[in-house]
Amino acid sequence: MRKRTLVLAAAVTTRYSSGVPGSSEGGDSFGAELATADFDKKDGYTDLAVDAHGEDIGPNVDQGSGANFRAQPAN
């Protein structure tokens, strides 16, 4: 099986970008750690996981969260 790879071409994603869960606070550290893999193990495309280990969730300070970006074929 041929492995497909996600290619990001001049794309910038921040905590303020559409589709990114949570809200932006100082110290979120969004994007401090990244991981790539075919997380759903179904489509053969390499997906992207982005860490925000300093994200506050309600009253829980620095609980952390993450966002998954699923790769898809280019149009």
DSSP 8-state symbol, 34? E
- With a cut of 70, list the residues of the chain below it in pLDDT: 1-16, 21, 74-75
pLDDT at residue 35, as a whole number: 92
How does strand 65-69 pair with strand 47-52? antiparallel
